[in-house]
């Protein structure tokens, strides 16, 4: 469920989610009303997991009024698990308060993005690696699941090292207990990325890079790693074999990892 609320206070260079947020604080009652209306439109059978993505931080009181948490938890009662998104900096007491209200388990999705030291310092995310570590440990200590977002093609990561740093970041997140990790290819369109591309600090990742990065992550046993396919048609790539490559990524997303047998590569004379 995509909920409209206050804009995130962090202006990450790769993000465009501010386009779907409000100009001011989220009015009390707005999010429960949106959620109730959306849940009414569900057709059976209902899923067992509810994801609440508000294009901001769920534990930022400006984005999600604390007084709305009981009603949101009440609406989420039929679900066995609830996922929300949060910057590592906003994980704390309010996280525990919401977890205690839920009848099911809580999973918090956190953007680690990259462990590349130069890129991490330039993303404007205001996230030190040790702060992420503490947030991951806090969630583990209180039996709250961790989902992590990792970027492919992060600005300031050299294009020839992009896959290597994505894999390093995925391994880092898995080592800190992330049960699910989503590899997200950075997509232009927010203005800042175009500026960075003009300066040579950003090279859009390709479809082939996403496919290969996911393939390289298949050996990680402690986490489920998947590739984000949102706007997959925007990724540069060969148009002849694009449908087959997208289908191969979808198959890897839904297949056990590590796979008993590797999926055969996509033959394409145009890519050779």
pLDDT tens readout for residues 225-235: 999 999 999 99
pLDDT of residue 44 exceeding 90, the answer is no
Q: Which helix (H) or strand (E) holds 139?
A: helix 129-141
Mean pLDDT over the full length of the chain = 93
Could you tell me what percent of the chain has a pLDDT over 90?
A: 81
- Model pLDDT, residue 265: 87
Residue 34 has pLDDT above 70, yes or no: yes
Is omega for the bond preceding 144 within 30 degrees of 0, making it cis? Answer: no
User: How does pLDDT run across 134-190, given as a tens digit for each residue?
Assistant: 999 999 999 999 999 999 999 999 999 999 999 999 999 999 999 999 999 999 888
Residue 20: predicted pLDDT: 81
Collapsing DSSP to helix, strand or coil, 220 comes out as coil
Alpha carbons within 13 A on the beta-carbon side of 240: 7
pLDDT one-digit tens code per residue, 83-133: 999 999 999 999 999 999 999 999 999 999 999 999 999 998 989 999 999
Q: Set out the domains of the chain in order of their start, with CATH numbers.
A: 17-203 (3.80.30.30)
Q: How do the residues of the chain divide into helix, strand and coil, expressed in percent and rounded to 5?
A: 40, 15, 45
To the nearest 10°, report the CA torsion of 91, 106, 139, 258. -120
CA angle 264, 158, 183 (to 5 degrees): 45
Are 86 and 124 within 8 A, CB to CB?
no
Q: What is the mean pLDDT of residues 186-204?
A: 92
pLDDT of residue 133: 98
pTM: 0.94
Distance between CA atoms of residues 205 and 207, nearest Å? 7
């Amino acid at each position: 469920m995509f909920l409209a609320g206050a804009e995130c206070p962090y202006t990450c260079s790769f993000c465009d989610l501010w386009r779907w947020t409000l100009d001011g604080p989220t009015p009390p009652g707005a999010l429960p009303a949106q959620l109730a209306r959306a849940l009414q439109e569900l057709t059976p059978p209902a899923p067992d997991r509810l994801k609440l993505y508000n294009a901001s931080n769920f534990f930022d009181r400006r984005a999600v009024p604390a007084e709305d948490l009981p009603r949101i938890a009440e609406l989420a009662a039929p679900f066995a698990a609830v996922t929300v998104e949060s910057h590592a900096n906003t994980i704390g007491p309010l996280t525990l308060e919401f977890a205690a209200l839920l009848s099911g388990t809580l999973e918090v999705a956190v953007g680690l993005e990259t462990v590349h030291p130069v890129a991490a310092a330039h993303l404007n995310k205001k996230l030190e690696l040790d702060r992420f570590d503490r947030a991951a440990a806090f969630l583990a200590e209180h039996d709250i699941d961790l989902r992590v977002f990792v970027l492919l093609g992060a600005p300031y990561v050299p294009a020839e090292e992009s896959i290597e740093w994505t894999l390093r970041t995925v391994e880092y997140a898995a080592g800190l207990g992330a049960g699910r990790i989503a590899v997200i290819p950075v997509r232009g369109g927010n203005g800042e990325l175009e500026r960075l591309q003009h300066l040579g600090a950003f090279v859009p990742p390709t479809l082939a890079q996403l496919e290969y990065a996911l393939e390289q992550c298949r050996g990680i046993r402690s986490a489920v790693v998947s590739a984000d396919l949102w706007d997959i048609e925007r990724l540069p790539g060969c148009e002849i074999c694009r449908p087959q490559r997208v289908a191969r990524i979808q198959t890897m997303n839904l297949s056990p990892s590590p796979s008993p047998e590797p999926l055969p590569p996509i033959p394409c004379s145009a890519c050779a």
